[in-house]
Protein backbone atom coordinates (compact mmCIF):
# COMPACT_ATOMS: atom_id res chain seq x y z
CA UNK A 1 0.00 0.00 0.00
CA UNK A 2 1.12 3.52 -0.70
CA UNK A 3 0.73 5.90 2.25
CA UNK A 4 -1.27 8.91 1.14
CA UNK A 5 -1.51 10.79 4.46
CA UNK A 6 0.89 10.17 7.32
CA UNK A 7 -0.26 9.83 10.90
CA UNK A 8 1.50 13.12 11.74
CA UNK A 9 -0.21 14.97 8.88
CA UNK A 10 -3.60 13.65 9.99
CA UNK A 11 -3.07 14.60 13.62
CA UNK A 12 -1.90 18.09 12.66
CA UNK A 13 -4.92 18.67 10.40
CA UNK A 14 -7.41 17.28 12.95
CA UNK A 15 -6.03 19.74 15.53
CA UNK A 16 -6.44 22.60 13.03
CA UNK A 17 -9.99 21.55 12.26
CA UNK A 18 -10.79 21.35 15.97
CA UNK A 19 -9.58 24.92 16.45
CA UNK A 20 -11.77 26.15 13.59
CA UNK A 21 -14.78 24.25 14.93
CA UNK A 22 -14.19 25.55 18.46
CA UNK A 23 -13.97 29.11 17.14
CA UNK A 24 -17.20 28.73 15.16
CA UNK A 25 -19.14 27.21 18.08
CA UNK A 26 -17.64 29.42 20.81
CA UNK A 27 -20.15 29.91 23.62
CA UNK A 28 -22.45 27.17 22.35
CA UNK A 29 -22.96 23.55 23.20
CA UNK A 30 -22.64 21.19 20.24
CA UNK A 31 -23.75 17.63 19.57
CA UNK A 32 -21.39 15.76 17.31
CA UNK A 33 -23.18 13.05 15.35
CA UNK A 34 -20.65 10.55 14.05
CA UNK A 35 -21.31 8.19 11.19
CA UNK A 36 -20.24 4.70 12.21
CA UNK A 37 -17.96 2.93 11.83
CA UNK A 38 -15.44 4.87 9.81
CA UNK A 39 -15.61 8.06 11.86
CA UNK A 40 -14.42 6.54 15.14
CA UNK A 41 -10.72 7.44 14.90
CA UNK A 42 -11.49 10.93 13.57
CA UNK A 43 -14.20 11.51 16.19
CA UNK A 44 -12.01 10.39 19.09
CA UNK A 45 -9.05 12.54 18.04
CA UNK A 46 -11.20 15.57 17.22
CA UNK A 47 -13.10 15.69 20.53
CA UNK A 48 -9.84 15.47 22.49
CA UNK A 49 -8.89 18.80 20.91
CA UNK A 50 -12.24 20.54 21.46
CA UNK A 51 -12.70 22.79 24.44
CA UNK A 52 -16.48 23.02 24.12
CA UNK A 53 -19.46 21.68 25.98
CA UNK A 54 -20.45 18.77 23.77
CA UNK A 55 -22.46 15.63 23.45
CA UNK A 56 -21.77 12.73 21.13
CA UNK A 57 -24.37 10.81 19.16
CA UNK A 58 -23.81 8.01 16.70
CA UNK A 59 -25.64 6.56 13.75
CA UNK A 60 -24.77 3.82 11.34
CA UNK A 61 -24.84 4.35 7.59
CA UNK A 62 -23.18 2.19 5.01
CA UNK A 63 -23.21 1.73 1.28
CA UNK A 64 -20.02 -0.39 1.11
CA UNK A 65 -20.30 -3.94 2.42
CA UNK A 66 -17.87 -6.80 2.44
CA UNK A 67 -15.18 -7.02 -0.19
CA UNK A 68 -16.54 -4.30 -2.45
CA UNK A 69 -14.99 -1.04 -3.57
CA UNK A 70 -18.09 0.47 -5.17
CA UNK A 71 -21.07 1.88 -3.28
CA UNK A 72 -24.27 -0.14 -3.14
CA UNK A 73 -27.63 0.33 -1.47
CA UNK A 74 -27.51 2.82 1.42
CA UNK A 75 -28.50 1.38 4.79
CA UNK A 76 -29.06 3.76 7.69
CA UNK A 77 -29.70 2.95 11.35
CA UNK A 78 -30.70 5.92 13.47
CA UNK A 79 -31.54 4.10 16.72
CA UNK A 80 -28.49 5.43 18.60
CA UNK A 81 -29.26 9.11 17.97
CA UNK A 82 -30.05 11.25 21.00
CA UNK A 83 -32.80 13.89 20.95
CA UNK A 84 -31.38 16.68 18.77
CA UNK A 85 -34.21 19.21 19.00
CA UNK A 86 -32.83 22.68 19.59
CA UNK A 87 -29.22 21.46 19.50
CA UNK A 88 -26.33 22.72 17.37
CA UNK A 89 -25.30 19.61 15.44
CA UNK A 90 -22.04 18.77 13.73
CA UNK A 91 -22.43 15.78 11.41
CA UNK A 92 -19.06 14.02 11.24
CA UNK A 93 -17.94 11.45 8.67
CA UNK A 94 -14.66 9.99 7.55
CA UNK A 95 -15.03 10.55 3.80
CA UNK A 96 -17.12 12.42 1.26
CA UNK A 97 -17.27 10.20 -1.81
CA UNK A 98 -20.40 10.44 -3.98
CA UNK A 99 -22.21 12.49 -1.34
CA UNK A 100 -25.27 10.24 -1.31
CA UNK A 101 -24.91 9.21 2.33
CA UNK A 102 -24.14 12.64 3.74
CA UNK A 103 -26.87 14.31 1.66
CA UNK A 104 -29.43 11.80 2.96
CA UNK A 105 -28.28 12.26 6.57
CA UNK A 106 -28.23 16.05 6.18
CA UNK A 107 -31.85 16.03 4.94
CA UNK A 108 -32.93 13.70 7.74
CA UNK A 109 -31.24 15.66 10.52
CA UNK A 110 -32.79 18.90 9.23
CA UNK A 111 -36.22 17.38 9.94
CA UNK A 112 -35.37 16.91 13.62
CA UNK A 113 -35.77 20.60 14.53
CA UNK A 114 -32.06 21.19 15.16
CA UNK A 115 -30.85 24.71 15.96
CA UNK A 116 -28.10 24.45 13.34
CA UNK A 117 -26.39 21.77 11.30
CA UNK A 118 -22.85 21.73 9.94
CA UNK A 119 -20.88 18.96 8.26
CA UNK A 120 -17.26 17.88 8.79
CA UNK A 121 -15.35 15.26 6.85
CA UNK A 122 -11.76 14.17 7.14
CA UNK A 123 -11.43 13.33 3.44
CA UNK A 124 -13.08 14.44 0.22
CA UNK A 125 -12.46 12.44 -2.94
CA UNK A 126 -11.86 14.74 -5.87
CA UNK A 127 -14.20 14.27 -8.81
CA UNK A 128 -16.55 11.78 -7.12
CA UNK A 129 -19.31 13.94 -5.66
CA UNK A 130 -22.62 13.34 -7.43
CA UNK A 131 -24.89 15.24 -5.04
CA UNK A 132 -24.53 18.95 -4.27
CA UNK A 133 -23.61 19.26 -0.61
CA UNK A 134 -21.92 22.02 1.34
CA UNK A 135 -19.24 20.76 3.72
CA UNK A 136 -18.25 23.22 6.44
CA UNK A 137 -15.02 21.53 7.55
CA UNK A 138 -12.78 19.38 5.35
CA UNK A 139 -9.49 17.84 6.32
CA UNK A 140 -7.96 16.77 3.03
CA UNK A 141 -8.83 16.51 -0.65
CA UNK A 142 -7.60 13.19 -2.00
CA UNK A 143 -7.47 11.60 -5.45
CA UNK A 144 -10.14 9.16 -6.58
CA UNK A 145 -8.60 5.98 -5.17
CA UNK A 146 -9.82 3.39 -2.70
CA UNK A 147 -8.27 4.30 0.64
CA UNK A 148 -8.00 2.54 3.98
CA UNK A 149 -6.69 3.35 7.43
CA UNK A 150 -7.59 5.83 10.15
CA UNK A 151 -11.07 4.30 10.38
CA UNK A 152 -11.59 3.51 6.70
CA UNK A 153 -11.79 -0.16 5.84
CA UNK A 154 -11.86 -2.80 3.17
CA UNK A 155 -13.96 -5.78 4.28
CA UNK A 156 -13.60 -4.57 7.90
CA UNK A 157 -9.79 -4.66 7.75
CA UNK A 158 -7.23 -1.82 8.00
CA UNK A 159 -9.31 0.56 10.20
CA UNK A 160 -6.63 0.46 12.89
CA UNK A 161 -3.88 1.97 10.75
CA UNK A 162 -2.80 5.44 11.99
CA UNK A 163 -2.37 6.70 8.40
CA UNK A 164 -4.43 6.71 5.21
CA UNK A 165 -3.15 4.54 2.37
CA UNK A 166 -4.25 3.63 -1.14
CA UNK A 167 -5.29 0.00 -1.25
CA UNK A 168 -4.08 -1.82 -4.34
CA UNK A 169 -6.74 -4.30 -5.37
Contact 72, 65 (CB under 8 A): yes
- Catalytic, 97? Answer yes
Q: Where in the sequence is the domain holding 43, given as residue range(s)?
A: 2-166
Structurally, how many domains does the chain consist of?
1
End-to-end Cα spacing for the chain: 10
- The SS3 of residue 89 is strand
Residue among 97, 113, 141, 156 flagged as catalytic? 97
Nearest Cα to 75, choosing from 101, 93, 97?
A: 101
Low-confidence ranges of the chain (pLDDT < 70): 62-79
pTM to 2 decimals?
0.89
Q: How far apart are the C-alpha atoms of 151 and 37, rounded to whole Å?
A: 7
d(CA 30, CA 84): 10
CATH code at 27?
Answer: 3.40.50.2020
Amino acid sequence: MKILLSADDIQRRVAEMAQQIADDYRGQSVTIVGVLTGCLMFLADLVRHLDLPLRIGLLQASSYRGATTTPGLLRVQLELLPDLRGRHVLLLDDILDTGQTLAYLNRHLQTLDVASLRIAVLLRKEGRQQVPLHVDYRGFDIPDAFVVGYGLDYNDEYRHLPYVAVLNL
